[in-house]
Amino acid sequence: MFSALNKKQTYCLSLIFCGLFIIFVLILSLQNIKGDTVAISAATSNHANEHLSDHIRNDSSDSHGKNTYVVTRTTLNIRTGPSHEHEIIGLLDIEDQIDVVGEPINGYYPIEYDGNTAYANAMFLVKPLTINVDDRDKPEKMILDIPYMKQRPSLPSGCEATSLAMSLNYYGIAVTKETIALEHNYDDTQLIRNDDGSINIWGNPLNGYVGDPFSLGYTIFPNKLKQQANEFLPSLDSTGANLETLEYFIAQGRPVLVWITNEYEMPDERFWQTDEGKYVYAPTPLHNVVLTGYDQRYVYVNDPEDYGEKNYKIPKERFEYLYNLMGMKSLVIGTGKKS
C-alpha cells in the first residue's frame, strides 16, 4: 500500500512539475512576445519621431544653415586674425555664403575657411532671412496700388519717412511724411568732419536716424524704423531676405521698404566713427524706396526722389545686385489686409 501510494504520489508530482514547467514556458513566451511588441512599438515611435523631427527641422531651418551668413561686398578679404592688419589669405565674392563659428571679435566674425578658423569683417556679412514658400502661390506679376508722394522739398534727406508714409497711406492711415520724420528715433551724435571735408565722427543708424531728414541726414536702419512702424501696423524687419522672398511679401499685398542707392548707381564705400569709437559702414549715395511690384524682368518701386515716379521700373538683376551691396536691408509694412 505504501509503495502504491509512493507511485501515485510520484506520478502526481510528475504531472504537477510538468504543468508548472509548461506554465513557466508559456509565461516566458508571453513576456518575450510582450517585450518584442514594446521594442517594435518603441522603434516605430522613434522612427515616427525622427520623421516628425526631420519635418519640423526642415520647416524651421533655412537652406543656408543655422550659422551661415551672406557676403554683401563685391569682394571681402579673409584674414588670419580679427583686424585689418592681419594677413589676407583669401577672398569672398558678393552673395557667397560662409559659416560663422563664433561671436564677433573686434568687428570680425570667426569663420570656417579651408578647414581652419579665419576672420572676415562683420560689416559685410548678413544672416539670411528665409521663409518656406514651397506650398504658396506667387503670381508671375504683381503690382500694388500704393499712393505716391515726393520727399522734396520738405524732406531732402527724408526718403525713409516718405516711403513709410506712402506704405501707411496704402492701408488708409492718414499720416504725413513730415509727421513720420519728426517722430523718428534719432541718434543725436554731432557731425564732425576731417580737414578734407570727409566725415570723421557721426551717428549710428542702428541707434536711430543720423542727421536731419529736413536738411542734411543719412538714414535710419530697419530695426529702428520698425519700432515706429509698429505704432501703426505690425511690421517685419526683413533684413537678409533675398529678392524672391521680398516678391513673396508683395504677393501677399504687403509693401516693402528697401534700402538701395540713389538713381540705382554703384555705391561708394565710406566709413566714420561714432563718438564711442565704433566704426560705421555708410555707403553712399544711400536711398530708400517702396517696393510695389515685380514681373519676370523688372521690379517696380515708388521712388520719392525728383527723378522717381509711381511704379518706377528697374531691371531686376540691377536692383537685386545693388540691394545686396547695400546690406540686404528691408522692412515689410503691415499684413496685407486693408481695413
Report pLDDT digits (tens) over 89-121. 999 999 999 999 999 999 999 999 999 999 999
Residue 156 above 70 pLDDT? yes
DSSP letters for 181-243: HHTS-EE-PPPEE-TTS-EEE---TTTSEEB-TTSSB----HHHHHHHHTTTS-EEE-TTB-H
Contacts of 74 (CB under 8 A, 6+ apart): 93, 94, 325
Residue 14 to residue 1: CA distance in whole angstroms? 20
Q: Are 282 and 270 in contact (CB under 8 A)?
A: yes
Q: Are 201 and 189 in contact (CB under 8 A)?
A: yes
Q: Is pTM, for the whole model, over 0.95?
A: no
Contacts of 274 (CB under 8 A, 6+ apart): 189, 201, 202, 203, 204, 280
Q: How confident is the model at residue 39 (pLDDT cuts 50, 70, 90)?
A: very low
Provide the pLDDT for residue 250.
97
Question: Which range is least confidently modeled, 37-46, 99-108, 238-247?
Answer: 37-46
DSSP 330: E
Residue 31 above 60 pLDDT? no
Q: How confident is the model at residue 137 (pLDDT cuts 50, 70, 90)?
A: confident
Give whole-number Cα distances, 252 to 142, 246, 248, in Å.
10, 10, 6
Residue 66 above 90 pLDDT? no
Residue 274 to residue 201: CA distance in whole angstroms? 5
| The total number of residues written for the chain in this structure | 339
Q: How confident is the model at residue 337 (pLDDT cuts 50, 70, 90)?
A: confident
Q: Are 245 and 180 in contact (CB under 8 A)?
A: no
Q: How confident is the model at residue 56 (pLDDT cuts 50, 70, 90)?
A: very low
Query: How confident is the model over 301-334, as pLDDT tens digits?
Result: 999 999 999 999 999 999 999 999 999 999 999 9
Q: Are 313 and 233 in contact (CB under 8 A)?
A: no
Average pLDDT, the chain: 85
Mean pLDDT for 295-301 is 98
Provide the pLDDT for residue 83.
94
Provide the pLDDT for residue 136.
64
Q: Are 215 and 250 in contact (CB under 8 A)?
A: no
Provide the grid cell at 327. Answer: 546690406
